[in-house]
Structure 1
Amino acid sequence: MRSLSLAGTHFRLAARQRALWIVSFALALLSITITVNPGLSFETDNPTALALTAQMLALLPPIAYAAAFTDLAAEAERLGISEIEASAPVLSFELVAARVAGSLAAMALPSAGVLLFCAGGQMLHGNAWAMPQAAFLLIGIVLPSALIAASLSAFAGSFLPRAFARIAAIVAWIGVLFLTVFVPTPTAGGGLRVHIAANPVAQAFFGSTPLLDSPESAATVAAATPLESVVLLALELAIAVALIAAAGAIARRRAYRRR
């Protein structure tokens, strides 16, 4: 109960960033409109279409998260309340986990709502398992991506002024996309064509083709296995935790130097 109460407090604090929350909502709505199939995901009963929406929600709204979480690790030091937090009868890990969970829940709420709306549309079209599938996609694709963007933001905010940190975090997130999602392949004319790689979870559990914009890639590229998708998901979470831990350490060290 204590952890839920702490997370709820940070949820309310994060929800006050209304401009960034509105941007997150707009990007979530934009994610619905991106499709490689004849129809939107709520107009069909195809789980692969629902998985595509989840992948778009993992690409676009995190741009807002990258701008929203610059104070995630440094806020206590900037406000001068780190000593108060340290003296509270709460484990530091529990405090950080509550801060991350509450803040991320506030920002990711539009994405969750959009995904559940699409799942509701799929249920009306005959996909009885749409809601459990949407919950799985939220946990396995949308939230890990949001956590990575938030951790990049927290890391940048631990040593840069807020305005510069937001820009740096957005640039870093776009860099992550170019390194992990956008796949350049040579064309017959000697140029390059950029494809969009499918999330391993979507490949392993929802039948997404390895390249989202190239259905024929299923015949030439092996899809990720369930084990590979779980390993990659664990790696994402480990990187996010490491970045948040490093951000907290940097923020504390900078604060101590000022004293």
Structure 2
Amino acid sequence: MLAPKKGKPSGGRIDHFYDASDEAELGDSRDDPADLRGDRDDTVKDQIRRLSYDEAERDNSQYVDLRTHFSLDKVAELEGKWYHSDASLQWLKRFIYEMKGTRMPQNSWCEPLSLRLGQAANSWCRQLPKKTQQRWSLLSEAWLGWDRSQFDQPARTRYYSRRRNENQPICDFLIRLNEYARTDKIKYEKGGADAADHVQQFLLNCGDDGIMDLLYPLQLPDIQRVEPIIIKKILGEKRKKQRDRLVASRVGESCATMVLSA
């Protein structure tokens, strides 16, 4: 059994969660609490599923709030580990250890999780159904089931295979494409060898003919020049829709007034 850390009052079982979480990222579960370790043959996915299953979740009254403050600083931001299956699973395992120590209902773990995700993982999370985003059992299964085999491909093959998903906001696709480029060591930022090609890659795969017609003739040299033009276009379209609704509303009111006065 691990001795409590110096300078920290012993909290019984909760102390074990902290000690175990220190090793979780390295995949070493030797110091995990005995009831959480399971069989030696368990995979990390098996461990995560067992940790995520809690009969007490059926009755939230069984939870005792032992800590009134939970610091997310104990869990490092996910960042690039999202793209690597083993590292992302170890990260999730550590996160679960920390949340177990709070005694919070499991569905309350979803929001803290979203706050520690990197940009790419957060983008993936936002595309999940609302119900999945708000229920831990569904969210953790979606995490375990997400196929990362594509990231075993050569870096440039992965990058050039990116396409905008159906109904995906164009700004979200731009953020994701930048993240893919950064992860795959594409020199896309201003002055980089791949900067102009990155702009072309975005335009050819954004699936928006209006954006393509607007930007392609400009032959912009880097993606930073693209972003403000897209945002300006989106805001312009939003304002136009608001004006159209306002005009339609006023026309409707005018017609109603004419009918009443007739």
Whether TM-score is above 0.5 comes out as: no
Q: Which has the larger radius of gyration?
A: 2
Greater relative CO (CA pairs within 8 A, separation 6+): 1
- TM-score norm. by structure 2 comes to 0.27
Give the structure-1-normalised TM-score.
0.27
Pick the structure with more helix per residue. 1
